[in-house]
Structure 1
Amino acid sequence: MRRLSLLLRFSLLSAVLVTVLGAVLANLLAGQIERRALASAENLGKGIALAQLESFLLVSDLDGMGPVRLMEFDHRLGGNRLEYLGIERVKIFNTDATIVYSDDRATIGDSGAGSDMVRQALAGRVVSKLTYGLDHTGHGARMVEVFVPFRHPGTSGTAAVFEVYLPYAPVADQMRDDTRQLYLALGSGLAILWLALFPIVAEASKSLRRQAAENRRQARFDALTELPNRRSLQESVEHALLGLGDGRLAAFLLIDLDHFKEVNDTLGHDHGDRLLQEVATRLGELMRPTDVLARLGGDEFAVFICDVPDRDIVRRRAQEMHAALNLPVDLSSVSVVVDASIGIAMAPQDGTTMDTLLKHADVAMYAAKKTANRVCEYTPELDPYSHDRLELGGQLHEAIARGELVLHYQPLVSAADGRIRGAEALVRWQHPDRGLLPPADFLPLAERTGAIGPLTDFVIDRAIKDAADWNRRGMDVEIAVNLAGASASDPRIPDRVAAALERHGLAPDKLMLELSEDTVITDPRRVAAVLWRLDELGVRLALDDFGTGMSSLAHLRRLPLHQLKIDRSFVSRLLADTQDAGVVEAIIALAQSLSLETVAEGVEDDVIASALTARGCDQLQGYHFSRPVPGADFERWARENAGGLDGAPATGAVALTGPVRAPAA
C-alpha cells in the first residue's frame, strides 16, 4: 500500500487536531456562556424582585396575607405587568419556607421546606436553575427559576425569599448568539492558524522530500562522478547473475589508476577530482546500455559486462578501456598521463557473487600492474589467498622468528676475466613440512600480511653478515640483495642498513641493493628519497629486470644507480630473436652512456656468455656458472674458482638442483 506523503499526513492530522481542539474549546466556552447567561438571569431576577416587591412587602405579610392584601399584590403584579416585567411566575416564601404569596392561588400555604433552592436562598444566596412549567399564558415552557433572599429593614437575616420565573427563550437566544459568535471567531482563528502553518509545512515537506531523494541518490551513486557506487553495483551484479543463462558468461572488470596518488600530491585534490571525473566520462563513452560502470572509491572503478559470448570480447573491451585511459588529460594546462591496471574475473567460472568476483578481479588487477599491457585475467595461480597460502601466511612470522628462512647465493661473474665479483642473496624457506620453498611461494604473502618488513631486515642482516665473514676470510666479494616494493619506499630502511653494516663490519660499497622498475615507478618520489639516503651511506644500487617495466630515461637520470640488470627474458632469446638482441644491445649502450655497469641474468650456456661479453656486458649470472646454493657451498665453489672461469662451468662447480632464481626480498 502506498504511503501517504508528509504534507497529506500533516493536512489530515492537523485538520483532525484543529477540529478536536475547536470542539473542546467550544464546549468549554459554551459552558462559560451558559453560566454567564444564567448569572445574568439571576441578576435580572434579583433586580426585578427587589425593585417590585421589596418596598411593597410588609413584615406582617410574612405571617400570611388576607384576601385584601392578596388582591393588592395581584393588582401590583396583575394584568400585563408580569409580562411587561419579563416575569412568568412569582412566589414569596417566609422563613418557614411557606408560600405566603403566589400568582397561582392554589399553591399559597404550600411548604417549600423540601426545596434545596429555597434553603440556599434562606441562607442568603441567590440561586437559580432551569425548569419546565406553565408560563403566564398557561402553556408549557422552559424557564429560569430564580430564588432571591430578602432582608427587611430593621431585621437581621433573611426575612423572605422571592421566587421569580423568567422566560428562558431570551436567555437561550443570547446564548445562541454568543455561541455562534464564539464558534465563528474560534473557527476563523484556527483556520487562519492552519492556513499559516500549511505553507511552512508544505515547504518543509518539499525540502525533506528533496533531501530524502538526495540521500537515496547518495546511497546508490558516487557524488563526485555521479556513477553508481558499490552498493548499487552489487544489486545490479547480483540481479544479473541470477538471470545468467546456461553457457553464457559475464565479466567483472576492476580498474585501478596507476600513479593517481602522485597527481593528488603534486597538483592537489581538486585536480585529482577532475581527473576522476574525466576517467568516469571516458569509460562511460565505452559502455553499452546493459553494462554497469561504477566507482568503488578512491581511484578504483568497476565495469560489469553481462551476457558476453566469449572471453575474447572481454579482452578487447578491456584493451579499449585501457587505451582510452592512457590518453593525456589536461589539468589546468598540465598534461597528465595516468595509466590504469585492469583485472578481469569471469562469471560463473571465477565466482557467482559480487564479492567473489571483486576479490578475484582484485587479484588479477594487482597481477596486471606487473605486466606490460596492464590487463590481466584471473587464474587461481595468481591468488595468494588459497587455503594453502593462507596457512603459509599465518606461519610466516613464526618462521622468521624460528630461523626457518635461509639464504642461497648465486655468483656474479666478471665477463672480462671470469673472476667472481660477488653473489646475489636469494631467500628460501626451509619449511618443516613442505621442504625448501622458493620465494615466489611466500614473498607475495609477506607483502600482503605485513611480514615483508621483518623478512627484509632478516635478509639484509644475514647477507651482510655472510659477506663480512667471507671478506674477513680473504674473499673480496660484493653481496647483492633485492628490495621489495614496500621496503624500497620505507624511510627506515637506510638506518637499518647502516646499523647492519656497522654491526657486522662490512664496507658499504660491498653491498648492492637491487630494486625492480615497477618498484621505482609505483612511488617514485618516496623511492628516490630512500635511494639517495642509501647512496649517501656508500651503498651501491641496481635496477633489476631492466627492460620489462615502464621506467623512463628521466627516472634513471634522477636515481643514484650504479648498475642495470638485463632481464633473463631478453638474455635467453639473445641469439634466436633479433629484436631481443637489439634490446640487449640498447640496454648495454644506455648503461655505458650513463656510466652504469650491466649484469645479464639467466646465462645458460657458453655461447650466450660469449655473445654478451662481445657486446660489452660487464657481469654475468646464471645456471651456466652455478645455481643458487647455500652460503657454505658458495664459499667453497668461489675458492675453488678463485683464479677465474674460462666461460664454461669450472671444475668442481656446485651443480645443485634447485629452483630458478626469483627476487628475494
Structure 2
Amino acid sequence: MEMVGNNRPVVLMVDDDEKLLAAVRRTLSGSFDFVTYSNGQAALDWLALNSDRADLVIADLVMPTLDGVSFLKQAARMAPSVSRILLSGTVSSISLREAINQAMITRVLSKPVSISVLKEAIERTIQTKSCAPKIDGNLTPLMVNAAIEAGDLHTVLQPRFRASDMSFCGAEILCRMPTVEKEFGIDEIFEACRDHPVINRLTSHLIAIMIDQAPRYRVLFGENANIAVNISAYSLKTPECLELIIRFYEKMRMRGVRITYEIAESQIGLDDEELQASASRMRERGIALLIDDFGSGNNSLELLRHEIYAGIKLDRDLVRGCMTDFLDDAFIEWIAQVCSKMGLSISAKGIESRQLAEKLQIYGITELQGFHFGRPIPLEDWEATVLTTLSASG
C-alpha cells in the first residue's frame, strides 16, 4: 500500500496490476491523493477506518482474493456516499445489473484504460457526485436505498387515451414506495435521489419488475401494450445504465410491449452534451424519448431545437390553467401547432374533466392522461377489473 498527501481528493484504488497502480501514483499524484492496494480485504480495512476521508473508490473486476463487484458492494455499505468506479475488460449483463443494484457504481471503465481516460473519469465523478443531499424533512438517497433493500416498492399503471377518439392507447408505469410515502410525496422522493447513484439502482429494480410483468401487459392491453416510463438524466448519462435502458427497450419489444421514455424538463440542460449524446443514441435506435413537464421551465422551446426528442408531455399546472388562464390557453394551442408541424407527439396530463379533454382535443393534442380517465392502480387490480367485466358480459 502507498498513500500520499492529504490536501487533494482522496481516491482508494484496488487492482492486482502493480504496474498500473505505480503508473497511477506516479502520473496523477499531483491531482489526487491515492491510497492503493492489490488486496481487496486490506483496502476494505482501510476504508472502514477512513470512510469520511475518501472521495472515490475504484476497483478492478478480477482480483485474487475478492472480485470487484463484491468489493464495491461492501464498500457501498461502509461508505454509501462515496462514488464507485468498476474497472473491467468485459462485463456480463448479469454482473452489470448486480453492480448497479447492489454496488451502486457510478460508471464502468474498460481495461486496458489509459491514464488520461482514468484521470478524466475521476475528475468528472468527483465533480458531479452527490453526497446524500438532504431536502426538506431530511429525506436522503440513503432512505430511498433502504426502501429498495426492504422491497418496499411496487408499480402502478395509469391509463393513457388517444385525444382523437378518447380510446385507450396504453399506460404509464409509476413507482410507489408505501412506507417512505407516509412522510414524503413521491416527487420529493425522486428529487432527493435524482443525481445520486441510487436512482440507477431504483431504475434497475423497476426494469426487472416490468420485464417480469411484460406478458401480463400484453394479455391485458393487446395491441395497445404501449408503456411509458420515466427516466432520470443521471441514468441516461451513466454509460452502463444507458446500456441497461436500451436493452430493456429491446427485451420488451421482443415481448410485444412498446416502451416510451420520458425525462422531466427540469433535468435537461441546454448545454448538457452528455445528455444530448445519450438522447441522440436512443433516437438512432428508434427509441422514443419525450420531454415531460413541458412548459414548466424557461427553456422549453429551445429544447425542441435539438430535434432529438420524439414529443412532449405538457406540465400538469399548465394544462389545468388552460381553462382559466388566457396565456396558458394560448400557449398550449400554439405549441400544439408547432409540434404538429415538427412531427412531434404532444400529450397532456392532469385531465380532470370532460370539458378540458374536449378543449385539448380541438387543439390537436395527441394523447390525454388524468384522473378523469383513470387513477393509477396496481396491475393486479386492473386485471381483476377486466375479469369482472368479462364475467358480467357473459
TM range (shorter): 0.5 to 0.7
SS in 1 for 2:178: strand
1:614 aligned onto 2:362: yes
Which of these residues, 511, 520, 532, is aligned with residue 268 of structure 2?
520
**Aligned-residue CA RMSD in angstroms?**
3.1
CA separation in 1, counterparts of 2:389 and 2:270?
40
SS in 1 for 2:324: coil
Which of these residues, 618, 621, 624, is aligned with residue 372 of structure 2?
624
Match for residue 54 of structure 2?
A: none
Check whether the contact 1:464–1:506 (CA below 8 A) recurs between aligned residues: no
CA separation in 2, counterparts of 1:540 and 1:512?
5
Match for residue 336 of structure 2?
A: 588
Match for residue 470 of structure 1?
A: 217
CA separation in 1, counterparts of 2:203 and 2:376?
19
Check whether the contact 1:410–1:634 (CA below 8 A) recurs between aligned residues: no
Match for residue 400 of structure 1?
A: 148
CA separation in 1, counterparts of 2:299 and 2:178?
35
Check whether the contact 1:601–1:620 (CA below 8 A) recurs between aligned residues: yes
SS in 2 for 1:629: coil
Q: Aligned pair in 2 of structure 1 residues 639, 478: CA closer, same or farther (>3 Å)?
A: farther
Q: What are the equivalent positions in structure 2 for 1:235-314 lying under 5 Å apart? A: none
Q: Aligned pair in 2 of structure 1 residues 409, 434: CA closer, same or farther (>3 Å)?
A: closer
Q: Aligned pair in 2 of structure 1 residues 504, 619: CA closer, same or farther (>3 Å)?
A: closer
CA separation in 1, counterparts of 2:234 and 2:191?
11
CA separation in 2, counterparts of 1:606 and 1:615?
15
Match for residue 420 of structure 1?
A: 168
Q: Alpha-carbon deviation of 1:535?
A: 2.1
Check whether the contact 1:565–1:600 (CA below 8 A) recurs between aligned residues: yes
Q: Give the stretch that moved more between structures: 475-484 or 607-616.
A: 475-484
1:599 aligned onto 2:347: yes
Check whether the contact 2:173–2:227 (CA below 8 A) recurs between aligned residues: yes
Q: Alpha-carbon deviation of 1:625?
A: 1.0
Q: Alpha-carbon deviation of 1:528?
A: 1.3
Q: Which amino acid aligns with 2:351?
A: V
CA separation in 2, counterparts of 1:562 and 1:409?
22
CA separation in 1, counterparts of 2:259 and 2:197?
25
Give the TM-score taking structure 1 as reference length: 0.36
1:479 aligned onto 2:230: no
Q: Alpha-carbon deviation of 1:484?
A: 1.9
Please list every run of 5 or more consecutive structure 1 residues that lacks an aligned counterpart in the other structure: 1-381, 643-650, 652-665
Give the TM-score taking structure 2 as reference length: 0.58
Check whether the contact 1:521–1:550 (CA below 8 A) recurs between aligned residues: no
Q: What are the equivalent positions in structure 2 for 1:48-447 lying under 5 Å apart? A: 384=135, 386-387=137-138, 389-390=139-140, 393-431=141-179, 435=182, 438-447=185-194
What's the CA shift string for 1:4-60, capped at 9, x where partnerless? xxxxxxxxxxxxxxxxxxxxxxxxxxxxxxxxxxxxxxxxxxxxxxxxxxxxxxxxx
Higher relative contact order (CA 8 A, sep 6+): 2
Q: Aligned pair in 2 of structure 1 residues 584, 464: CA closer, same or farther (>3 Å)?
A: farther
Check whether the contact 1:517–1:550 (CA below 8 A) recurs between aligned residues: no
Q: Alpha-carbon deviation of 1:565?
A: 0.8
Check whether the contact 1:603–1:622 (CA below 8 A) recurs between aligned residues: yes
Match for residue 200 of structure 2?
A: 453
CA separation in 2, counterparts of 1:587 and 1:639?
40
CA separation in 2, counterparts of 1:598 and 1:490?
28
Match for residue 543 of structure 1?
A: 291
What's the CA shift string for 1:217-276, capped at 9, x where partnerless? xxxxxxxxxxxxxxxxxxxxxxxxxxxxxxxxxxxxxxxxxxxxxxxxxxxxxxxxxxxx
Q: Aligned pair in 2 of structure 1 residues 503, 541: CA closer, same or farther (>3 Å)?
A: closer
Match for residue 510 of structure 1?
A: 258
CA separation in 2, counterparts of 1:574 and 1:495?
39
Q: Alpha-carbon deviation of 1:568?
A: 1.3
CA separation in 1, counterparts of 2:376 and 2:363?
26
CA separation in 2, counterparts of 1:600 and 1:456?
24
SS in 2 for 1:558: coil
1:571 aligned onto 2:319: yes
Check whether the contact 1:574–1:581 (CA below 8 A) recurs between aligned residues: yes
CA separation in 2, counterparts of 1:438 and 1:506?
35
Check whether the contact 1:563–1:597 (CA below 8 A) recurs between aligned residues: yes
Q: Alpha-carbon deviation of 1:508?
A: 8.8
Instruction: Calculate percent identity across the aligned residue pairs.
Output: 26
What's the CA shift string for 1:331-370, capped at 9, x where partnerless? xxxxxxxxxxxxxxxxxxxxxxxxxxxxxxxxxxxxxxxx
What's the CA shift string for 1:521-568, capped at 9, x where partnerless? 265311111112222332211111111123354531323222211111
Q: Which amino acid aligns with 2:216?
A: D
Q: Aligned pair in 2 of structure 1 residues 435, 506: CA closer, same or farther (>3 Å)?
A: farther
CA separation in 2, counterparts of 1:468 and 1:523?
40
Check whether the contact 1:566–1:587 (CA below 8 A) recurs between aligned residues: no
Q: Alpha-carbon deviation of 1:612?
A: 0.7
SS in 2 for 1:442: helix
Check whether the contact 2:135–2:192 (CA below 8 A) recurs between aligned residues: yes
Q: Alpha-carbon deviation of 1:492?
A: 2.8
Q: Which amino acid aligns with 1:462?
A: I
Check whether the contact 2:339–2:345 (CA below 8 A) recurs between aligned residues: yes
Q: Which amino acid aligns with 2:278?
A: V
Q: Alpha-carbon deviation of 1:577?
A: 1.5
CA separation in 1, counterparts of 2:192 and 2:381?
29
CA separation in 2, counterparts of 1:464 and 1:525?
30
The runs of 4+ residues in structure 1 deviating greater than 6 Å are: 638-642
Q: Alpha-carbon deviation of 1:447?
A: 3.0
Check whether the contact 2:217–2:257 (CA below 8 A) recurs between aligned residues: no
Q: Alpha-carbon deviation of 1:587?
A: 1.5
Larger radius of gyration: 1
Equivalenced residue count is 259
Q: Which amino acid aligns with 2:200?
A: G
